[in-house]
């Protein structure tokens, strides 16, 4: 091989590498439209966080009083709380794994879409997740979440990290998480009040629509000292 041919080969190889890395960078920098859409101004985030807290407080009061309970949350309320309320309550480290920032949720019929910015020494990208959610009919306090897509920018990635994080967050917050596969996709079964011999709430309906979700159920009035 002549010196000129060698230099030409090196040049072509360098162009291919630069092109590949540049394309990879663009794919990782992609941000889903729903993620950018949910970036509300500061004053709106504060109001939405307060509304989320008010609706949550009403829901918890209904559960404590016993009987039927129902609450409807909007995307704006949930994302306002995720951006402000969580941190004001000192729950950021408990809910968000290391490297996770600016989480946002979008609601669609039967689906939840989650995205967050992930930062590390070498990576700065938006991770997006699409989940199908439903209440299995055989138990009263069980929520099923099927993982449909998991991407960094536009690049599909292994779901193992996410599975581990969901299980760990559930454990910290007293929710039992079990995984199985359905139609080749992982499904998380989240069991609430798993540590109670007699759970005092029963989830009856989870309704996901465009930009809102509604939870309904029944509860037995909690008695002091009984779990």
In this structure, are 56 and 168 located in the same domain?
yes
> Do 97 and 159 fall into the same domain?
yes
Q: How many whole angstroms separate alpha carbon 79 and alpha carbon 139?
A: 29
Q: Which residues of 182-203 are buried (b: 16+ CB within 10 A; e: fewer)?
A: eeeebbbebbbbeeeeebbbeb
Q: What is the pLDDT of residue 23?
A: 45
Are 60 and 8 within one domain?
no
Domain count of the chain?
2
Tell me the pLDDT of the chain (227 aa) as tens digits.
Answer: 555 554 444 444 344 444 434 444 445 667 888 888 887 777 788 899 999 999 999 998 998 888 899 999 999 999 998 888 787 777 666 677 778 888 899 999 999 999 988 888 777 888 899 999 999 877 778 889 999 988 888 788 877 777 887 887 777 777 888 888 888 889 988 888 777 777 777 888 999 999 999 999 998 765 444 34
Look at residue 225 and tell me if it is in a domain: no
CA–CA dist 154, 172 (Å, integer): 31
Report yes or no on 150 lying in a domain.
Answer: yes
Residues 77 and 119 in one domain: yes
Q: Within this chain, do residues 107 and 192 fall inside the same structural domain, yes or no?
A: yes
- Its domain, for residue 13, covers 1-30
Strand partners, 72: 214
Query: Taking the model in full, what pTM does it have?
Result: 0.77
Q: Looking at the domain assignment, is residue 226 inside a domain?
A: no
Task: Say yes or no: 5 and 86 in one domain.
Answer: no
Residues 12 and 121 in one domain: no
């Amino acid at each position: 091989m002549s010196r000129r041919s060698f230099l030409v080969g090196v040049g072509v190889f360098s162009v291919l590498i630069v092109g590949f890395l540049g394309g990879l960078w663009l794919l990782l920098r992609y941000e889903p439209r729903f993620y950018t859409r949910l970036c509300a101004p500061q004053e709106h985030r504060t109001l939405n966080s307060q509304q989320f807290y008010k609706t949550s407080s009403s829901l918890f009061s209904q559960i404590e009083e016993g009987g039927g309970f129902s609450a409807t949350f909007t995307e704006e309320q949930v994302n306002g709380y995720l951006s402000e309320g969580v941190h004001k309550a000192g729950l950021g480290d408990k809910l968000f794994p290391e490297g996770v920032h600016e989480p946002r949720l979008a609601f669609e019929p039967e689906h939840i879409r989650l995205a967050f910015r992930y930062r590390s020494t070498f990576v700065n990208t938006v991770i997006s997740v699409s989940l199908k959610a439903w209440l299995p009919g055989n138990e009263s306090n069980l929520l099923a979440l099927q993982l449909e897509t998991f991407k960094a920018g536009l690049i599909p990635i292994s779901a193992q990290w996410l599975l581990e994080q969901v299980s760990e967050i559930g454990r910290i917050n007293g929710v039992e998480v079990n995984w199985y596969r359905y139609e080749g996709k992982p499904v998380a079964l989240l069991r609430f009040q798993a540590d109670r011999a007699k759970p005092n709430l029963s989830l009856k309906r989870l309704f996901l629509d465009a930009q809102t979700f509604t939870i309904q159920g029944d509860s037995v009035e909690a008695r002091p000292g009984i779990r």
